[in-house]
Amino acid sequence: MKRFYIFFLLLLISVSAFAQNGRISGQILSSDGQPAEQVSVGIKGSARGAVSDNQGKFTIERIKPGSYTLLVSFVGLATLEKDVEVAAGETVSVSFTLSESANELQEVIVKSGTTYKSDQFSSSMKLLTPILETPQNVQVVTSKVLADQQVISMSDGLIRNVSGAVRLEHWGDMYANISMRGSQIQAFRNGFNVVNSYWGPLTEDMSFVDHIEFVKGPAGFMLANGDPSGLYNVVTKKPTGQTKGEVGFNVGSFGLYRATLDLDGKLSKDSKFLYRLNVAAQNKGSFRPYEYNNRYSIAPVISYQIDEKTKLTAEYTLQYAKMSNVGSFYVFSPDGYATLPRDFTTMAPGIAPTRINDQSVFVNLQHQLNPDWKLTAQVGYFNYNQQGSSMWPNVVNPDGTLIRAVGLWDAKSEMTLGQVFVNGDVKTGAVRHRILGGIDIGSKHYFADWSQSIALDSAGAEFDPKNPYYGTPVLGYPQFDRSMPLESRAAAGGGLQDQNYTGLYLQDELGFLDNRVRLTLAGRYTYVKQSAYGGADQEAKHFTPRVGLSLSLTKNTSLYALYDQAFIPQAGRLIGGGKVKPVTGNNTEIGVKRDWAEGHWNTTLAFYRILKNNELTGDPTNPNSGLSMVLGQKRAQGVEFDLRGTIINGLNLTANYAYTISEVTKVAEGVTDMKVGDLIPGYAKHTTNAWLSYKVQHGSLKNAGISAGFTYLAGRATTNWSSTNSSLNQPDYFKLDGGLFWEKDNIRLTANVFNILDKYLYSGGYYDWLKAYYWQADPPRNYRLSVTYKF
């Protein structure tokens, strides 16, 4: 910290020498009055410039007094010019209106193929700072990437686009459960933390998703309570003011049939009242027999521009899923990993399906108080209902036979969340202030009945994986008692979780030397009251600070350093009883970011170390008991590298690498199955991904393209409930994908092959209490073909 203070003092001494410079700021609009994003603004004859944000705004700092010519350019459009006069210590305001409409700009973006890279956060991230200037590793997976890779849900290969992200417990396509930097990261949607239990939320269908923002390290101070390992924020589609539509059809292996519709338009002639509607429906089978995951989703959004300064947006999302028994994707054997056929299943056809209704409502109000200050208020309501069951064996015998059991899993989740915050961009003398402050409140309730478990097989009539019988089980199909309301059953069985919290936060990003040096000072105070599994209410409060430093070496290159803390309330029942303490942690991170080729692609290199205290871990002797124990302290550290964007015209690339080590650094009293230096399961030591897409620009093959990508995991420290076989980790993982596409005018055809090498890929661990390995297999070689038509 002393180095921060010394450097800050030197900055203050130097500021006076630059106080007489001016700056140029303004806004760029399309011909129909919509903000024009990612438009380049530069000074003629100089390397100085900026890129407009999602509000069309830009600022060029550190301009010496004099006369200048501004150049406004966008890929594929004519360059605009405007003369300006900059005075000492003053800000020149200037505006541009392009001759193209917002719809025409979007078409240019799509055709130019420069949409693998994003320079700005969504407004739900609450920050005014461009990603390049933010002292934190942030990666954005854009809608173009999702379409090229034929990603249809959060669990569908999405994480290949982010360094160090892995999924070692799949839960099929029910929950994403993404891990990064040694821990499971938090799931957000439009700036709200939507995690209400370890198992949620339901994976979002990509039909209503615009893009996903991955934030590495703590960001709870600005969004909500969060894990120091990071979070992902799903940003849903909003009305754009353009009148357009898109219909898509997707077919693939294992009975995949999918259709989507995206309508975007105006409800009033003055363009104040807009709408967006996304609808999707799919039937989806599995490479394992008797498994299926059928879904539909409806997501209408409306927005109303009340006046020039105030905008109201409301959206509703319904996801309905009908899937086979949850847990059937797990395979158990005492003989080792992958010792049964890849398509083997213990699923008994005829078991009632699991049905899920997942609904959410968002209301967002934005008001521009004046040119420098903006107020945002938003509320969210989330309602999740599940009626179904999960499979788990009661016994795995040494000869591999087992007694299957089906456990009831009915669940309900309700969350009411609210946020009010202000953003400011002001100057005091030569110092620029990007200010964020607000309040974050939430009420979360989770009810689950998993108290009933019924065996399908009996001693002497076990299920034999080597000679499986898929007729009516020996003991028949389970009949659960649902005569009481779910809330009553959950209370009786201890399946209750409640959390109420309030957070206050304030951040000031101070810009010195015409914003070339940025010092971030922030803090969050959080109060939480929660209970779990029928226990008494527990209260906790904590202040978490944040200090960040970002230095622009050039307009395209920045260095950053960060220190911040996290505070994570956790629920559970300790094996020996007692009060569960919240998780506290801190993150130290340094890195370098750079835009290349006039911003067409960028790289991020980050080094980090995270310490976490008081984290709970499940009872290793019986993971289904609902009991936990305090681990002590763990440390995750490593290196991350990300590259994304358009390398040359027509060639898009996403590539990343992460080196991760997560280990126990302190052991709490009473913990006997772990020691200092033990690896924490749930990550891969080396994670490497790439996805390349090339579209032919000239000749007879113009508009055709080819894509290819791979995922490589080495040194996997897997999920492992074993205290005696902790070294039995899995072999390296390599998956190769690729395909062809063709697009012209409003039509695009995409065909991809996944797991081209047809490798038997899986993840899993070992259970002492069952004396058996378990794993979940990835699909064998499979195919997808999609057709989209824009109108």
Helix/strand/coil (H, E, C) string of 105-174?
Answer: HHHHHHHHCCCCCCCCCCHHHCCCCCHHHCCCCEEEECHHHHHHCCCCECCCCHHHHCCCCECCCCCCCC
Cβ neighbourhood burial of 460 (10 Å; 0-12, 13-18, 19+): exposed
Residue 201: asked if its preceding bond is cis (omega within 30°), the reply is yes
Q: What is the pLDDT of residue 23?
A: 82
Residue boundaries of the structural domains of the chain: 2-112, 123-236, 244-327+351-790
Q: Is the pLDDT of residue 670 over 80?
A: no
Distance linking the first and last C-alpha atoms of the chain: 56
Q: Is the pLDDT of residue 17 over 70?
A: no
Beta strands in 324-430 (DSSP E): 331-333, 354-370, 373-396, 402-428
**Average pLDDT, integer, range 284-302:** 96
Contacts of 278 (CB under 8 A, 6+ apart): 207, 208, 237, 260, 261, 262, 263, 297, 298, 299
d(CA 121, CA 231): 14
Q: What is the pLDDT of residue 649?
A: 86
Question: CATH number of the domain at 244-327+351-790, please?
Answer: 2.40.170.20
Contacts of 199 (CB under 8 A, 6+ apart): 171, 174, 175, 177
**Average pLDDT, integer, range 550-574:** 86
pLDDT confidence band for 281 (50 / 70 / 90): very high
Q: What is the pLDDT of residue 4?
A: 45
Short-list 280, 276, 301, CA closest to 362 = 301
Q: What is the DSSP string of 426-447?
A: EEETTEEEEEEEEEEEEEEEEE
Q: Do 325 and 305 touch, CB atoms closer than 8 A?
A: no
**Residue range 605-664, pLDDT digits in tens:** 999 999 988 877 666 566 556 677 777 888 999 999 999 999 988 899 999 999 999 888
d(CA 555, CA 133): 10
Q: Is the pLDDT of residue 256 over 90?
A: yes
Q: Do 62 and 515 touch, CB atoms closer than 8 A?
A: yes
Q: Do 40 and 556 touch, CB atoms closer than 8 A?
A: no
Q: What is the pLDDT of residue 263?
A: 97
Across the chain, mean pLDDT equals: 87
pLDDT confidence band for 447 (50 / 70 / 90): very high
Q: In this structure, how many other beta carbons lie within 10 angstroms of the beta carbon of residue 340?
A: 20
Global pTM value:
0.86
φ, ψ of residue 109 to 5 degrees: the values are: -60, -45
| Residue type for position 725 | N
Q: What is the pLDDT of residue 225?
A: 62
* CATH 3.40.50.880 for the 2-112 domain, yes or no: no
Strands 22-29 and 91-97: parallel
pLDDT confidence band for 390 (50 / 70 / 90): very high
What CATH architecture applies to the domain 123-236? Beta Complex (2.170)
**Residue range 114-123, pLDDT digits in tens:** 588 888 888 8
Q: What is the pLDDT of residue 678?
A: 80
